[in-house]
Amino acid sequence: MRQVKLFKQETSIQAILYILQKMGGTCDIHKCHKILYFADNEHLSKYGRSITGDNYIRMDFGPVPTCIYDLFKAVRGDSYFAVEAEEVRSKYFHFVNSKDIVATALPDMNYLSGSDVEMLDKYIAELKDMDFGKVSNLSHGYAWMNTAQNGVISVHDRLTEMGDSDEYIKYIEDQLRAQEAVL
């Protein structure tokens, strides 16, 4: 599976399981992506780090986490990497159709910090009962509109949408570059 240097696969899997647990054991892929997007953005803005470490791309119905989407496609079996995803499929979650994810395990909370849970809870509560159209529209903010179709949504635009100052955004971008250099 394609990797982003700062992507935290195990933390992302546990965040997905946490979302699934809070949503009653199942969630559609679209809503899961948007919960992660909003939680990642606010966490990055408020705490200086992303929960998942994933990059988000602009797609028709809103931002999509690149590595997580690759993982979902592999678990669904419609990816070149489907064989690599067998452990995830058998251990954590699977799809009951092309869009609905079902948990087969509980989240390991050792991977999620208190602030991770805080942000996930906030956006689960906000989006849980919204329909597809409302969730899509909500995710079509400044960052999404300022990105070319299928392009990576910049951290700068994500944090600008959160209302952060240029100085703070530069600081966060410098911190992320430093982390990538170490990896």
122 or 77: whose pLDDT is higher? 122
- Angle (CA) 126-132-134 rounded to 5° is 55
Range of the structural domain that residue 22 is part of: 9-182
Whether 2 is covered by a domain: the verdict is no
Q: How many structural domains compose the chain?
A: 1
Write out pLDDT tens, residues 36-72. 999 999 999 999 999 999 999 999 999 999 999 988 9
Burial (CB count <10 Å: 0-12, 13-18, 19+), residue 144 = buried
| Residue 183 banded pLDDT, cuts 50, 70, 90 | confident
Under 8 Å between Cβ of 43 and 51: yes
Whether 4 is covered by a domain: the verdict is no
Whether 3 is covered by a domain: the verdict is no
Whether 123 is covered by a domain: the verdict is yes
Distance CA 151, CA 27 (A): 26
Distance CA 98, CA 76 (A): 7
Write out pLDDT tens, residues 106-160. 999 999 999 999 999 999 999 999 999 999 999 999 999 999 999 999 999 999 9
